[in-house]
């Protein structure tokens, strides 16, 4: 069956049922597309499990991050709800107050992340507060009618979820689609709550986690995109009925809370009793994610500096979306396992050691081909070299050891990185970056201690005052103690020693008697000659002045930190076998996530292609330089057809468009068009 | 140019000109990179000399400046073409003004000619051109002079032809009255620029021939700085001229005979057949670099299973890059999707809608009978079904996701939501240069794209094969033939009605804001001509016209219905002539 037709543009292809066997699994395609067939099943399984792990981990992190916000929201709901309960009893109040309790939820510009937040919010509310939740999006609600329809649909459906046994209720819902008004909503609410109140105890169990006469929560996911009129109408209408059922609104706001007032006139916004809630900024969010996912030994796969840089740049310069960042990370996982046959070893250490034993000969060859491994081989003695290059078993042994080393390296790397970050993040102007991710990138890129920034930050660190220094050391001790690294006992000891020395210094300082300062002496002199002399002496003495004890200690501390950095923060690509756990083809990532179609067009068109087309007249002229005037009217058919096609192609690509003013004229659209 | 400027130039001359510049002048003819500042200095004596030589008439000087400004533009145009791939698009394709096309044509004709031939662009080959706005101006004259005089100091830069023109400007204008001013300026520009590029020459013919042989890279080197300044001015230049004059010639004039010939030969009424002819014609001309293109395609084909993998992992794939991706996707379909349920959407199909996409999913994939009140409902239904039944899988291939019909916000929203379903796998191609602008953050995250560059260089055969392609649709002859064909099948009364409308429209062809003929007036006229007896019959007639797309109705601001024939005036008059002949 062809997909070319003059009468339709959609073609459905359905394989005959008997032909439609079990569709190929994802693993099949993984195997098919993979460059090297070695261990593809195992790789795929590892990849999947890692992806799953990352997913659940990120979700958990997000939940934790949102917890505070949700708690605040729930307590807000509780407050407004209790107010309603009171009001219900006081009939006089009921007619007076028509304010709808409203929570303005400022979520930031990373709109794509909001979906997840709202989903978990509604889950939380559903579990703890009320079954009656409606999530509204602007694109579904072009008019107030659609909005009401959507609202009722969602509310009544969730009612069915609660007691789905009643068939008649279902009919009721379908009937009510016809008339969607506030009155139906109220009637529905009354009947729904009444029913749950009069339920048998057995049924009550389901609704017991909800409050009595639970509030109806309406969430506007993207408040800014709603049309003013719809919002206004809804607010005004529902404020008329606020006394009859407990309604709470939640506005999701991406920009600033001021938007409520610019969207709604005062007469409407005065009907709302707004309380503001601020979610965590997306940058903090990202920092947490990086901290928990990338800067741990928990996940075997690591990102190289360039890849991380690409992901962070996409985040910072394009969308601020944490979800996209995670998606990028997921893509890294897939790409790594897909393209690298040795990625089979990219798992937890014990498992990896086991897998090393079962490596095939081909895979051993793959290991031998790794640049980092070759460097390692070259550094060995010759007998060892031969063994490594020819005997698989000795290679496997070496690989096991090297993997262990790599693991130890990571175990040490991250805590020391954090310690260094403690120091650098408090320096003025942040020569090594404010965020730990910047420091991480710097360390991955090359030997950080060779950089100018590191030099200047050490210098700045040598000027820190004592109290700062002490708190930093204490923080470092905390970090090191809580980390699983095995070699840290010594370091912790040393740091503690520094701390006690500082302590002693303080005591010593207090006891120290004050000698007459040279400045005081200076004041005594009145003679100009003497003054000059003393000043010169003073200068001399300052040059050779002995450092105070504190300064010496400070130098010692900084030097010690420096030595730690030099020892532990070696860039990963200096490590043998780093290719196995580091994903470093940043270009792939950039190409697929941050593509530049225009550039592609440019480069493609920079070929002689376009000129060939544009100058197709040249072709004819060249072929027949004597082309006479008579034939200029009758252009060659082929040339003509080519010209027509070229023009239509240009139009398709969006370079030109037909101008409406004149027949057969086109206007240029891109690249300096008028 | 003000006298003061000249004077100050003179002062500078004494100080700086001698050694190095003379030296440079003598020593290098092959173009050392000349600094801008120095240029200025060199320029000055030059100007002084020129002043002595030709200053007698201030006005003549003005003209000179104006014309040589155009020379600078010409230089830039030339440069932009030569300076290759390293620079971004903005610089590569600085088509500053529409007269660029003239340049291309000229260049084309030049290239086609053998170098030995006289290189003077034949004025008769240069059709009507863009009028320069009069203020094309003195402001950048200084920079122009710098460029011009870089090499040939002490010799008049005034090109031979220019001087000739200066001598008798009026005569020149008269003799070329057929063309707008810019035409000659343009030539001059090119001329002057070429003279810059060659050494010392004020005779134009040798200059021409040499220009062909000089390496183009030199120009780019020397003029980069000036270029920047000029670019700014040129920008405003280009945007200030609100009225761009273009040729009144239409393709139709050129083609009338030919397409009529076509039509008679194959008696083709429908576009498809015409396209077929077009296609056949193109088949004859072999595709250049076929082997390389094939290799390129094979590279992309090796990605197929990777695509499948990524589709399965929840990503969707979008292909971009120059060249038709239709065949590539088609190959993907035949090689990978034979055993799966899949849907192919030809986005370039002129009457495709999201509705039809959704319909084919609900009706053919899900076997659902029944209608939906809105696409949103339909979408909801589809999403629900796919969520309920995890065994359902659907691959969707969309050729040209960015086509006219699908690029709307609502369509994209719906497609994005569809694609966000885990069991719907979308692979699509885009071609339009601004296609990514269709998607905001929200849609992009729904689509969850992975981008693949697949530059195929193959011609857009399928994509441009429907009638929305520019030239075929607009060719008046086609419209004319369909007009006559349709009208022949109508009653004489109906034809009379149509004639009335056509005549009225032609009478008003000079009125730019002609809204069309209002229904009431039209009815009145038809009654007077005894063509209809009630407005009901007229309405019935009009419906028929409308069904054949012979007329278009639109409502004016006052709510009155206006009738229009959506055919250009020349076609319409042709049609009336033909009708007259028939009668």
How far apart are the C-alpha atoms of B22 and B38, rounded to whole Å? 12
How far apart are the C-alpha atoms of A662 and A657, rounded to whole Å? 12
Percentage of residues in chain B having pLDDT higher than 90: 5
pLDDT value at A392 more than 50? yes
With CB atoms and an 8 Å threshold, state whether A604 touches B455. Answer: yes
Residue B473 belongs to what H/E stretch? helix B470-474
With CB atoms and an 8 Å threshold, state whether A648 touches B471. Answer: yes
With CB atoms and an 8 Å threshold, state whether B471 touches A32. Answer: no
DSSP-derived 3-state class of residue B152: coil
How far apart are the C-alpha atoms of A650 and A652, rounded to whole Å? 5
How far apart are the C-alpha atoms of B248 and A383, rounded to whole Å? 86
Q: Name every chain B residue with its beta carbon within 8 A of the beta carbon of A111.
A: 441-442
With CB atoms and an 8 Å threshold, state whether B349 touches A9. Answer: yes
The 10s digit of each residue's pLDDT in A287-328 is 999 999 888 888 888 999 999 999 999 899 888 888 889 989
Q: Taking CA B91 as the corner, what is the angle to CA B90 and CA B94, rounded to the nearest 5 degrees?
A: 80
The 10s digit of each residue's pLDDT in A269-297 is 888 888 899 888 888 889 999 999 888 88
Mean pLDDT, residues A434-455 taken together: 89
3-state secondary structure A357-384: HCCCHHHHHHHHHCHHHHHHHHCCCHHH
A139, A599, A644 member nearest B413 (Cβ): A139
Check residues B272 and A60 and name the one with the higher pLDDT.
Answer: A60
- Between residues 316 and 355 of chain A, which touch chain B (CB distance below 8 Å)? 319, 321, 323-324, 327, 330-331, 334, 338
Q: Name every chain A residue with its beta carbon within 8 A of the beta carbon of B248.
A: 662
Contact A674, B98 (CB under 8 A): yes
* Number of other CB atoms surrounding residue B157 within 10 Å: 26
Residue of A nearest to B445 (CA): A112
Q: Name every chain A residue with its beta carbon within 8 A of the beta carbon of B85.
A: 603, 606
- Between residues 655 and 674 of chain A, which touch chain B (CB distance below 8 Å)? 655-656, 658, 662-666, 668, 670-674
Q: Name every chain A residue with its beta carbon within 8 A of the beta carbon of B227.
A: none
With CB atoms and an 8 Å threshold, state whether B459 touches A614. Answer: no
A21, A140, A598 member nearest B339 (Cβ): A21
Q: Name every chain B residue with its beta carbon within 8 A of the beta carbon of A617.
A: 105, 108-109, 112
A24, A634, A648 member nearest B258 (Cβ): A634
**Predicted local confidence at residue A57, as pLDDT:** 92
pLDDT value at B352 more than 60? yes
With CB atoms and an 8 Å threshold, state whether A647 touches B471. Answer: yes
**Predicted local confidence at residue A56, as pLDDT:** 93
Confidence band for A14, pLDDT divided at 50, 70 and 90 = confident
Q: Name every chain B residue with its beta carbon within 8 A of the beta carbon of A20.
A: 339-341
Is A463 part of the contact surface with chain B (CB cutoff 8 Å)? no
User: Strand B561-564 to strand A302-303: parallel, antiparallel, or no bridges (unpaired)?
Assistant: unpaired
Contact A44, A338 (CB under 8 A): no
Residue of B nearest to A32 (CA): B305
User: Strand A133-136 to strand A582-583: parallel, antiparallel, or no bridges (unpaired)?
Assistant: unpaired
With CB atoms and an 8 Å threshold, state whether A674 touches B337. Answer: no
Confidence band for A23, pLDDT divided at 50, 70 and 90 = low
Report the gap between the CA of A253 and the closest CA in chain B (Å).
Answer: 15
Residue of A nearest to B253 (CA): A633
**Predicted local confidence at residue B289, as pLDDT:** 67
Mean pLDDT comparison of A207-216, A547-556, B59-68, B277-286, highest-scoring range:
A547-556
pLDDT value at A661 more than 70? no
B304, B360, B431 member nearest A652 (Cβ): B431
Q: Name every chain B residue with its beta carbon within 8 A of the beta carbon of A614.
A: 104, 108
pLDDT value at B482 more than 80? no
Report the gap between the CA of B251 and the closest CA in chain A (Å).
Answer: 6
- A491 is written with which tokens? 């370091």
Return the closest-CA partner of residue A310 out of A603, A600, A588: A588
Return the closest-CA partner of residue A72 out of A235, A254, A210, A275: A275
Q: Name every chain B residue with its beta carbon within 8 A of the beta carbon of A602.
A: 88-89, 92
With CB atoms and an 8 Å threshold, state whether A10 touches B94. Answer: no
Report the gap between the CA of A586 and the closest CA in chain B (Å).
Answer: 14
**pTM for this one?**
0.67
- A429 is written with which tokens? 């102007």
With CB atoms and an 8 Å threshold, state whether A26 touches B340. Answer: no
DSSP-derived 3-state class of residue A302: strand
Q: Taking CA A356 as the corner, what is the angle to CA A355 and CA A360, rounded to the nearest 5 degrees?
A: 95
With CB atoms and an 8 Å threshold, state whether B239 touches A674. Answer: yes
**Predicted local confidence at residue A642, as pLDDT:** 67
A593, A605, A634 member nearest B322 (Cβ): A605
Q: Which residues contact A150 (CB under 8 A, 6 or more apart)?
A: A134, A136, A140, A141
pLDDT value at B290 more than 50? yes
Mean pLDDT comparison of A571-585, A658-672, B144-158, B174-188, highest-scoring range:
A571-585
Q: Name every chain B residue with its beta carbon within 8 A of the beta carbon of A117.
A: none
pLDDT value at A379 more than 70? yes
**Predicted local confidence at residue A519, as pLDDT:** 55
Q: What integer best gives the mean pLDDT of chain A?
A: 78
Choose from B227, B249, B305, B473 for mutation: most chain A CBs within 10 A: B305
Confidence band for B124, pLDDT divided at 50, 70 and 90 = very low
- B312 is written with which tokens? 């399965």
**Predicted local confidence at residue A311, as pLDDT:** 92
- Between residues 586 and 645 of chain A, which touch chain B (CB distance below 8 Å)? 591-595, 597-607, 609, 612, 614-615, 617-618, 621-622, 625, 633-635, 637-638, 640-642, 644-645
- ipTM computed for the complex: 0.80
How far apart are the C-alpha atoms of B206 and A259, rounded to whole Å? 70
With CB atoms and an 8 Å threshold, state whether A23 touches B322. Answer: no
Choose from B87, B453, B512 for mutation: most chain A CBs within 10 A: B453
**Predicted local confidence at residue B322, as pLDDT:** 81
Between A109-123, A376-390, B200-214, the lowest mean confidence (pLDDT) is in B200-214
Question: How distant, in Å, are the alpha carbons of A258, A521, B8, B73, B127 from that of B68?
Answer: 57, 80, 21, 9, 21
pLDDT value at A404 more than 70? yes
With CB atoms and an 8 Å threshold, state whether B90 touches A11. Answer: no
Q: What integer best gives the mean pLDDT of chain B?
A: 64
Q: Name every chain A residue with its beta carbon within 8 A of the beta carbon of B433.
A: 597-598, 601, 653-655, 670
Between B114-123, B390-399, B432-441, the lowest mean confidence (pLDDT) is in B114-123
Residue A102 belongs to what H/E stretch? strand A100-106
Report the gap between the CA of A249 and the closest CA in chain B (Å).
Answer: 23
With CB atoms and an 8 Å threshold, state whether B459 touches A13. Answer: no
**Predicted local confidence at residue A54, as pLDDT:** 92
Contact A223, A259 (CB under 8 A): yes
pLDDT value at A239 more than 60? yes
With CB atoms and an 8 Å threshold, state whether B272 touches A663. Answer: no
- A122 is written with which tokens? 């509604």
With CB atoms and an 8 Å threshold, state whether A334 touches B313. Answer: yes
pLDDT value at B98 more than 60? no
Report the gap between the CA of B49 and the closest CA in chain A (Å).
Answer: 38
With CB atoms and an 8 Å threshold, state whether A111 touches B278. Answer: no
Confidence band for B426, pLDDT divided at 50, 70 and 90 = very high
* Number of other CB atoms surrounding residue B281 within 10 Å: 18
pLDDT value at B261 more than 60? no
**Predicted local confidence at residue B165, as pLDDT:** 43
Check residues B196 and A272 and name the one with the higher pLDDT.
Answer: A272
């Amino acid at each position: 069956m062809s997909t070319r037709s003059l009468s339709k543009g959609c073609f459905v292809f359905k394989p005959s049922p008997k032909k439609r066997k079990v569709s190929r699994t994802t693993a099949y395609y993984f195997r098919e597309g993979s460059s090297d067939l070695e261990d593809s099943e195992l790789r795929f399984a590892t990849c999947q499990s890692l992806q799953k792990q990352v997913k659940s981990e990120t979700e958990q992190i997000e939940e934790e991050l949102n917890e505070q916000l949700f708690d605040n929201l729930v307590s807000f709901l509780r407050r407004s709800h209790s107010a309603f309960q009171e009001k219900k009893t006081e009939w006089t109040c009921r007619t007076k107050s028509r304010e709808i309790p409203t929570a303005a939820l400022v979520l930031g510009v990373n709109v794509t992340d909001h979906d997840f937040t709202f989903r978990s919010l509604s889950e939380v509310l559903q579990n703890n507060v009320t079954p009656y939740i409606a999530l509204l999006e602007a694109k579904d609600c072009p008019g107030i009618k659609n909005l009401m329809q959507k609202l009722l649909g969602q509310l009544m459906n969730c009612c069915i979820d609660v007691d789905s046994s009643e068939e008649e209720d279902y009919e009721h819902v379908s009937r009510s689609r016809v008339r969607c008004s506030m009155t139906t909503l109220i009637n529905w609410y009354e009947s729904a709550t009444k029913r749950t109140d009069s339920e048998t105890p057995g049924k009550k169990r389901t609704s017991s986690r909800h409050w009595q006469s639970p509030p109806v929560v309406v969430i506007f996911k993207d408040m800014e995109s709603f049309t003013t009129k719809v919002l206004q109408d809804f607010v005004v209408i529902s404020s008329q009925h606020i006394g009859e059922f407990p309604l709470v609104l939640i506005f999701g706001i991406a920009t600033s809370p001021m938007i409520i007032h610019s969207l709604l006139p005062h007469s409407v916004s005065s009907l709302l009793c707004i309380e503001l809630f601020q979610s965590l900024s997306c940058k903090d969010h990202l920092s947490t994610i990086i901290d928990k996912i990338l800067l741990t030994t928990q996940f075997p796969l690591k990102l190289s500096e360039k890849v991380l840089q690409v992901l962070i740049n996409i985040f910072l310069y394009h969308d601020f979306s944490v979800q996209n960042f995670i998606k990028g990370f997921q893509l890294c996982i897939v790409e790594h396992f897909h393209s690298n046959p040795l990625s089979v070893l990219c798992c937890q250490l014990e498992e990896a050691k086991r897998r090393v034993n079962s490596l095939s000969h081909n895979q051993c060859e793959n290991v031998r081909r790794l640049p980092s491994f070759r460097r390692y081989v070259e550094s060995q003695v010759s007998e060892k070299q031969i063994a490594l290059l020819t005997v698989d078993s000795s290679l496997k042994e070496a690989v096991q050891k090297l993997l262990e080393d790599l693991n130890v390296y990571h175990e040490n790397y991250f805590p020391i990185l954090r310690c260094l970050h403690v120091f650098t993040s408090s320096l003025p102007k942040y020569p090594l970056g404010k965020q730990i991710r910047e420091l991480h990138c710097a360390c991955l890129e090359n030997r950080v201690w060779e950089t100018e920034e590191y030099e200047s930050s050490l210098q700045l660190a040598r000027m820190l005052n004592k109290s700062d220094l002490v708190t930093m050391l204490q923080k470092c001790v905390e970090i090191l103690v809580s980390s699983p690294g095995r070699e840290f006992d010594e370091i912790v000891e040393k740091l503690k020693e520094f701390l006690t020395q500082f302590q002693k210094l303080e005591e010593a300082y207090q006891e120290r008697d004050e000698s007459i300062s040279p400045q005081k002496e200076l004041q005594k002199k009145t003679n100009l000659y003497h003054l000059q002399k003393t000043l010169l002496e003073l200068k001399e003495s300052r040059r050779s002045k002995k450092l105070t004890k504190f300064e010496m200690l400070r130098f010692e501390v900084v030097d010690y930190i420096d030595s730690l950095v030099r020892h532990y923060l070696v860039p990963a690509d200096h490590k043998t076998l780093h290719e196995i756990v580091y994903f470093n083809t940043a270009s792939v990532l950039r190409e697929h996530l941050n593509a530049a179609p225009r550039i592609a067009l440019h480069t493609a068109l920079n070929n002689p292609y376009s000129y060939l087309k544009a100058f197709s007249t040249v072709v004819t002229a060249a072929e027949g330089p004597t082309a006479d005037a008579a034939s200029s009217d009758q252009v060659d058919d082929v040339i003509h057809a080519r010209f027509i096609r070229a023009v239509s192609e240009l139009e398709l690509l969006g370079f030109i468009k037909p101008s409406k003013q004149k027949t057969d004229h086109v206007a240029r659209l891109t690249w300096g068009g008028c | 140019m003000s006298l003061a400027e000249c004077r100050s130039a003179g002062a500078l001359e004494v100080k700086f000109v001698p050694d190095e510049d003379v030296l440079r002048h003598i020593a290098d003819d092959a173009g050392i990179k000349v600094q801008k500042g120095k240029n200025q200095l060199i320029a000055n004596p030059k100007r002084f000399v020129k002043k002595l030589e030709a200053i007698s008439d201030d006005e003549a000087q003005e003209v000179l400046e104006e014309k040589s400004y155009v020379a600078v533009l010409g230089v830039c145009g030339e440069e932009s073409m030569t300076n290759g791939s390293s620079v971004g698009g903005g610089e590569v394709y600085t088509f500053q003004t529409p007269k660029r096309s003239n340049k291309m044509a000229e260049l084309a004709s030049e290239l086609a000619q053998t170098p030995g031939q006289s290189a003077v662009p034949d004025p008769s080959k240069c059709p009507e051109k863009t009028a320069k706005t009069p203020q094309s101006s003195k402001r950048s004259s200084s920079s122009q002079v710098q460029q011009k005089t870089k090499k040939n100091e002490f010799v008049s830069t005034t090109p031979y032809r220019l001087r000739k023109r200066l001598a008798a400007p009026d005569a020149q204008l008269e003799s070329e009255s057929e063309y707008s001013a810019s035409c000659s300026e343009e030539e001059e520009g090119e001329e002057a620029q070429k003279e810059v590029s060659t050494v010392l020459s004020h005779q134009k013919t040798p200059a021409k021939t040499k220009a062909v042989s000089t390496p183009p890279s030199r120009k780019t080197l020397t003029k980069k700085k000036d270029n920047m300044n000029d670019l700014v001015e040129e920008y405003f230049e280009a945007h200030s001229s609100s009225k761009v004059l273009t040729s009144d010639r239409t393709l139709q004039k050129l083609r009338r005979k030919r397409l009529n010939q076509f039509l008679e030969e194959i008696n083709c009424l429908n576009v498809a057949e015409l396209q077929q002819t077009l296609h056949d014609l193109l088949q004859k001309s072999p595709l250049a670099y076929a082997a390389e293109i094939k290799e390129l395609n094979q590279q992309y084909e090796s990605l197929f299973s990777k695509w499948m993998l990524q589709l399965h992992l929840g990503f969707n794939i979008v292909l971009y890059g120059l060249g038709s991706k239709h065949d590539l996707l088609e190959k993907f379909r035949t090689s990978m999707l034979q055993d799966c349920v899949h849907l192919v959407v030809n986005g370039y199909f002129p009457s495709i809608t999201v509705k039809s996409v959704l319909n084919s999913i609900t009706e053919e994939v899900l076997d659902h009978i029944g209608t939906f009140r809105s696409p949103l409902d339909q979408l909801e239904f589809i999403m629900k079904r796919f969520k309920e039944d995890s065994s359902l899988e659907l691959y969707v291939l969309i050729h040209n996701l960015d086509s006219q019909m699908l690029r709307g916000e609502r369509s994209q929203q719906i497609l994005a939501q569809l694609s966000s379903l885990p069991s719907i796998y979308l692979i699509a191609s885009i071609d339009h240069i601004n296609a990514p602008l269709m998607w905001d953050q929200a849609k992009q995250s729904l689509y969850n794209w992975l981008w693949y560059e697949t530059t195929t260089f193959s011609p857009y055969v399928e994509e441009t094969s429907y009638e929305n392609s520019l030239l075929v649709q607009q060719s008046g002859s086609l419209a004319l033939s369909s007009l006559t064909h349709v009208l022949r099948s109508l009653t004489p009364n109906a034809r009379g009605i149509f004639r009335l409308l056509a005549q009225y429209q032609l009478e008003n062809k000079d009125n730019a804001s002609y809204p069309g003929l209002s229904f009431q007036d039209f009815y009145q006229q038809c009654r007077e001509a005894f063509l209809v007896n009630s407005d009901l019959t007229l309405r019935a007639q009009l419906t028929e016209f409308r069904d054949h797309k012979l007329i278009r109705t639109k409502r004016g601001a006052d709510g009155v219905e206006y009738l229009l024939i959506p055919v250009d005036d020349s076609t319409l008059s042709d049609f009336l002539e033909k009708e007259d002949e028939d009668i």
